Amino acid sequence: MFQVLIISYDLSEPGQNYSSVLKKIKEVGASWARIGGSAYLVYTEKSPVEVRDSISTELDKNDKIFVGIAPAPSAWKGMPKEVSAWIHENQK
């Protein structure tokens, strides 16, 4: 069953390779939206644990990650139109 997950991460050391983490985020879902900083929503069939474990392969031991289920309803302000449209389309 597809669901929307929220992913937030913090790479602790300067000079981290954010591109490899973002690549993993894009791979775990059918679609995704960046909601700010290092926070993303993904539409996926995978569980939060599966997503965490997949992305964790690109993290160092001091880095942090949170993956949770993000069902509707939600509230937001200041998101670009394409992000708002993504949320409306995917978060049911």
* Side-chain half-sphere CA neighbours of 32 within 13 A: 18
**Angstrom distance (rounded) from CA 90 to CA 92:** 6
| pTM for this entry | 0.92
Domains of the chain with bracketed CATH: 3-90 (3.30.70.240)
At residue 44, the pLDDT reads 98
At residue 13, the pLDDT reads 74
**Segment-wise mean pLDDT, segments of 10 residues, the chain, 92 residues:** 96 78 94 96 98 94 94 95 97 87
